[in-house]
Chain A
């Protein structure tokens, strides 16, 4: 008499596969929202970081230049207000906003243009100088305010960076 060994393979039944597949699908769908939110948030942060870094860099440069400058004043050229001063090497420097860009003229050289990017713009650049015309007996005070706007949809998509510098030179 010969005995027959029957090998039985045990795996998933169709019902088991369908139930676990359905569960996995449900879980995946519920995870999609947070994932998309996290990715969007990450993108927003990069926009803000880019804006902060750019404006901070400009203010640092301006701060260094103004500290060693003389005769800062506001002049109006072609209807645009410009901050102008004589730099350490006694060369005329001008800063002004044109559209969403910030321009810097040094002497007669071609202007340096600080441009906004795809993710942020220079919304408003403002200068205030006191006294209005240079006075050798009074220290000048220069206040610079740069308002940047990111392309975020949230309400807190703009930031103002402000600094005041008192030049050390008369």
Chain B
């Protein structure tokens, strides 16, 4: 006597199969979402590195002009962007109100796109159509020696739709070359 499967058996097998397939698709979707969110990694890293590069530019300017190597690089927080006049140092863009703590993002350190040249700066235009908000500040910390300064540039990118925030940092230790 050959015994076949009962209807209940077929239904259970089908349910298990569909459950497994749903899990597989969900896993794929979650992994894709993570990859999709990671697309801002390069953008955030570049903007963080830009903050460091501008602080380093102040040291180069001091070398060219014969000023003290760290003039304009006092310990503090700064809103630095590409409009910075290197000869003024960072003191011209000092800020005490700017925070990039992901839990208390402050609009004064937002980077906004310039409508004419599409370059991010603190004086750009707010564009609501953008998918993300970008915040940045640069912190100068006195080193343990007189001839060194630590510069940390922090960028936070907030996804407007999901409210997810990612933090990117770049840091450098600047030395007196004399």
Which label, helix, strand, loop or mixed, suits the secondary structure of the A interface? mixed
A99 to B28, CA, bound (A): 37
> Chain B, 139-168, contact with A by CB distance < 8 Å: what is the 0/1 string?
000000000000000000000010000000
Give chain B residues whose Cβ lies under 8 Å from the Cβ of A31. 18, 21-22, 25
Give chain B residues whose Cβ lies under 8 Å from the Cβ of A166. 53-54, 56-57, 60, 86
Across chains A and B, the number of contacting residue pairs, with CB separation under 8 Å, is 131
Q: Is the CB of B25 within 8 A of A159?
A: no
Report the stretch among B68-76, B89-97, B102-110, B116-124 that lies at the interface. Answer: B116-124
Q: Is the CB of B118 within 8 A of A56?
A: no
A residues contacting B by CB (< 8 A) are 7-12, 16, 19-20, 23-24, 27, 31, 34-35, 37-38, 41-42, 44-45, 48-49, 52, 56, 59, 124, 126, 128, 130, 137-139, 141, 143, 145, 147, 155-156, 159-166, 168, 170
B residues contacting A by CB (< 8 A) are 1-7, 10-11, 14, 18, 21-22, 25-26, 28-29, 32, 35-36, 39-40, 42-43, 46-47, 49-50, 53-54, 56-57, 60-61, 64-65, 82, 85-87, 113, 117-120, 129-132, 161
Q: Which 5 A-B residue pairs are closest in the complex by CB-CB distance? A: A156-B131, A143-B82, A11-B4, A166-B57, A139-B60
30 pairs across A/B with beta carbons < 8 Å?
Answer: A11-B2, A16-B7, A16-B10, A23-B11, A27-B18, A31-B18, A31-B25, A38-B29, A49-B35, A52-B42, A56-B42, A126-B118, A126-B119, A130-B86, A138-B64, A139-B61, A141-B82, A143-B50, A143-B82, A143-B119, A145-B118, A145-B119, A155-B129, A155-B131, A156-B130, A156-B132, A162-B47, A164-B50, A164-B82, A166-B60
